[in-house]
Amino acid sequence: MYEILNKINGPEDVKKLNNEELEVLASDIRDALFNRLTKFGGHFGPNFGMVEAEIAMHYVFNSPVDKFVFDVSHQSYPHKIITGRRLGYTDENHFHEDSGYTNPDESEHDFFNVGHTSTSISLASGLAKARDLKGDEENIIAVIGDGSLSGGEALEGLDFVGSELNSNFIIIVNDNEQAIAENHGGLYKNLAELRATNGQASNNLFKAMGLDYIYEPNGNDIQRMIKVLQSVKDINHPVVVHTNTVKGKGYKLAEENREAWHWSVPFDKETGKPTISFGSGEDYTSLTAKYIMEKAKKDSNFVVITPAMPGTGGLNPTLRAELGKQYIDVGIAEEHAIAMASGIAKNGGKPLVVTNATFMQRAYDQISQDVCINNNAITIVLNYSSFDGLTDVTHLGIFGISAFSNIPNLIVLSPSSKEEYLNMLDWSVDQKEHPVLILMPGNEVTDRPADKEYGTVKYKVEQSGEKVAILALGDFYQRGEILAKEIESKLGFKPTLVNPRYANGLDKDLLIKLADSHKVILTLEDGILNGGFGEKVASFLGIKDVKVKNYGLNREFYDRYNPEELLDELGITSEKIINDIKDLV
């Protein structure tokens, strides 16, 4: 086991290997990947496909003087294994030391903490520009997958590099014919033509952007990759090395079902079956899929749009096929997704955009300008918008309220139960007055009766009480419920409990009533406080004779935290809040 890999403590050790040993190294790296991924989970297909290419990269170039920038960096595990971090893969006790992405805190061979797509060309071009300013001469290498090429930042980067960077720059396009789901977009037709013609097809996208271009058909052949990389090493201008790899290479199940094996939970290697159990009941993702399928059948003007994240709406390949022309995957292209949705709404369609909260940040300006200035009634549903969904620093859901809720005309809704979520979806998709963003709950599904209309900001008083009013928003509503009960049992009075529902609107009449009849108003929200819900309440009540205390997360990039421990640190537990109340009442 790990015969060669155990000797690899850095790239210099790779350079010493002969051809045969390099092949053994590839096999060892796959074993190490299996070891981590079967037990710990993580990105599967992207890493298995890039083993040979990354060995070749380290064989040819001189990292960290020569600098690699990996797009998304979910395919950088072979690189991480080679650059002194093999224990994070071969030894269970070290798994936690190694993040799932490149990370400059881990190694001098990593230059950026990356997790969003389409950034590598631009980031690397900056390294190159600084190199040129300083008069240095190292190689700068950006790695990007075909799925990431459709993102605006990547295309802007290609265009820039194609004329404005007249010095060494190497872009490795890892073409595995797949995003997470299948690819969408005209450029993929071009990549297919280039693959079919061994790189000779006319109307080469990269050449059209002003770049030099080389095609290597077998990106899983170490010797061929070494040869092509040697041919571009120290090149004096930007060049694209387009190579074809097999996503999930070396594991038959993954090669055959590339979407399912993009990312994996812990699994059994023999059967491919997960080794952790999932709740068998419904969750908000499956509720979303159910809503979408039913609505699409009833209403031919309803259309679902996703920027390459169908899974966030629970849309598997079967459901997508069933939706037909009522389903649009735009590829990784959030800006386009939002602007197109605005156009659809303007011309009488009913668009629902669904993706992961953190990726929607890419479309901030489109939400503001293309949608909200025009007040076109699109619905955006953001999955993973909770503090306890994804905890990697690059994928946090805690910025959703802060980022989007201050854009004019946008109604941001935070549902707290099943009926509320579904009613909000129903109302939002059918109405023609407002753009609406709905934060999909991350909690287990619970249910309470809910209103049907959400056009006017009204908070819902779920329990009337005294002294303390708790405004518990969205996914934190259930924490508010628990807090209310604990206050009653520990402090001996029944507090008021409010379900605000609107993350960015003030129910001024109610707030004034609450301020006049309570001593303390508490707000609880599932996200950072800065720019969030509670601050607005505090500001509105700033001149009233009532204490206001906002509970939420800090303006901070948390990384791989334990969610409940974090809340405890921040004082957002019933016990600590009750202590605060004692001081205030």
Site for its own copies in 237-296 (CB under 8 A): none
The contact pattern for its own copies, residues 85-104, with x = CB under 8 A and - = no contact, is: -------------------x
Burial degree of 101 (CB within 10 A; 0-12, 13-18, 19+) = buried
HEC letters along 385-402: CCCCCCCCHHHCCCCHHH
Q: Could you say which of 51, 57, 303, 308 contacts its own copies (CB under 8 A)? A: 303
547, containing H or E segment: strand 547-553
Q: Are 53 and 225 in contact (CB under 8 A)?
A: yes
> Does residue 211 interact with its own copies by CB under 8 A?
yes
> Does residue 440 interact with its own copies by CB under 8 A?
no
Candidates 169-177, 321-329, 472-480, 571-579: pick the segment binding its own copies (CB under 8 A): 321-329
Half-sphere exposure of 97 (CA within 13 A, CB side): 15
Shortest gap between Cβ of 248 and its own copies (angstroms)? 24
The full DSSP string for 33-98 is HHHHHHHH-EE-HHHHHTHHHHHHHHHHS-TTTSEEEESTTTT-HHHHIIIIITHHHH-GGGGGGS
User: How close are the terminal C-alpha atoms of the chain, in Å?
Assistant: 65
CA 83 to chain centre: 26
Q: Are strands 140-145 and 42-43 parallel, antiparallel or unpaired?
A: unpaired
Q: Could you say which of 78, 145, 185, 219 contacts its own copies (CB under 8 A)? A: 185
d(CA 308, CA 362): 13
CA-nearest of 119, 114, 165, 169 to 140 is: 169
Shortest gap between Cβ of 429 and its own copies (angstroms)? 14
Residues 441-480 that bind its own copies (CB under 8 A): none
Shortest gap between Cβ of 382 and its own copies (angstroms)? 14
Q: ω before 64 within 30° of 0 (cis)?
A: yes
Q: Write out the two tokens for 491.
A: 């402090």
Q: Judged by CB under 8 A, how many residues of this single chain contact its own copies?
A: 119
The contact pattern for its own copies, residues 115-154, with x = CB under 8 A and - = no contact, is: xx--x--xxxxxxxxxxxxx---------------xxxx-
Candidates 51-59, 78-86, 468-476, 538-546: pick the segment binding its own copies (CB under 8 A): 538-546
CA-nearest of 109, 185, 108 to 147 is: 185
d(CA 121, CA 110): 15
Residues 503-522 that bind its own copies (CB under 8 A): 504
Shortest gap between Cβ of 338 and its own copies (angstroms)? 8
Most distant pair of Cα atoms in the chain: their distance: 80
| Nearer to its own copies (CB atom), residue 311 or residue 505 | 505
| Nearer to its own copies (CB atom), residue 80 or residue 547 | 547
Q: Could you say which of 62, 419, 535, 561 contacts its own copies (CB under 8 A)? A: 535
Q: Are strands 42-43 and 263-264 parallel, antiparallel or unpaired?
A: antiparallel
> Does residue 182 interact with its own copies by CB under 8 A?
no
Q: Could you say which of 83, 178, 190, 416 contacts its own copies (CB under 8 A)? A: 190
Helix (H, G, I), strand (E, B) or coil at 137: coil
Residues 53-72 that bind its own copies (CB under 8 A): 67, 69
Q: How many residues does the chain have?
A: 585
Shortest gap between Cβ of 72 and its own copies (angstroms)? 11
d(CA 212, CA 218): 19
> Does residue 428 interact with its own copies by CB under 8 A?
no
Give me the residues paired with residue 518 across strands.
Answer: 467
Q: Could you say which of 240, 289, 352, 372 contacts its own copies (CB under 8 A)? A: 372
> Does residue 383 interact with its own copies by CB under 8 A?
no
d(CA 476, CA 235): 55
> Does residue 548 interact with its own copies by CB under 8 A?
yes
Shortest gap between Cβ of 365 and its own copies (angstroms)? 4
Count the neighbouring beta carbons within 10 Å of the beta carbon of residue 231.
13
Shortest gap between Cβ of 310 and its own copies (angstroms)? 14
Shortest gap between Cβ of 330 and its own copies (angstroms)? 5
Shortest gap between Cβ of 432 and its own copies (angstroms)? 13
Shortest gap between Cβ of 568 and its own copies (angstroms)? 21
| Nearer to its own copies (CB atom), residue 325 or residue 452 | 325
Residues 325-344 that bind its own copies (CB under 8 A): 325-326, 328, 330-331, 333, 335-336, 339-344
Candidates 36-44, 89-97, 508-516, 550-558: pick the segment binding its own copies (CB under 8 A): 550-558
| Nearer to its own copies (CB atom), residue 216 or residue 370 | 370
Shortest gap between Cβ of 220 and its own copies (angstroms)? 26
Q: Could you say which of 83, 383, 386, 405 contacts its own copies (CB under 8 A)? A: 405
> Does residue 199 interact with its own copies by CB under 8 A?
no
> Does residue 385 interact with its own copies by CB under 8 A?
no
3-state helix, strand, coil in the chain (%, to 5): 45, 15, 40
Shortest gap between Cβ of 471 and its own copies (angstroms)? 12
Q: Write out the two tokens for 261.
A: 């094996």
Shortest gap between Cβ of 329 and its own copies (angstroms)? 8
